[in-house]
Each structure stands twice: as structure tokens, then as C-alpha cells.
Amino acid sequence: PISVNPTFVYNHGIEGYSPSPLGFWREGVGSSSFRLDARYLDAWQFGLAYTSYHGEQERTRNLDRDTLAASVSYAF
């Protein structure tokens, strides 16, 4: 009656930079995300996710923007 689904995503800029103003690709900058979803009796669903940003301080502004998200839902 319980199913668990973990997900891990790792992003890292290997080499190079995006042209401005689309600068989303930065060398040496990335993020790591982990999400855990669980279902109970196909009625309850629980989710927990965490994202951490990493890289050189001068190349990104996202280093202090780690996020945590939680969700609960019930289907009837």
C-alpha cells in the first residue's frame, strides 16, 4: 500500500558561458536536487524536495538560494 519514488538531479557547467543576456550557462556553477515522493493507498501523496546551488561565488548569485519544498495531497 506504500510506494516511494526518490529522484536525484545534478547539474554542472563543464566549460564555457552563455552569451548575454541569456546567461544561464556558467562554467563551474551548478545545482543538486533531491526529491522524495511517497503514495499511501493511492489516496495520499507526500512530497519533499531540496535544491542546493554550488559554484564559485563571483560567477553566480544563486549560492544563497537553497530551497526546500514539501507537499501533501489527498484524492477522494
Task: Give residue-wise pLDDT tens across range 11-46.
Answer: 877 776 666 666 566 667 778 999 999 999 989 999
d(CA 40, CA 43): 6
Which range is least confidently modeled, 6-10, 48-52, 64-68?
64-68
- Categorise residue 55: left if φ over 0, alpha if ψ from -120 to 50, beta otherwise: left
pLDDT at position 38 is 97
pTM (whole model) above 0.75: no
pLDDT of residue 18: 62
Which residue type, as a one-letter code, is found at position 13?
G
Q: What is the pLDDT of residues 54-76, one digit of tens each?
A: 776 655 565 667 899 999 999 98
Long-range contact pairs involving 9-12 (C-beta distance under 8 Å, separation at least 24): 9/33, 9/34
Burial of 44 (0-12, 13-18, 19+ CB in 10 A): middle
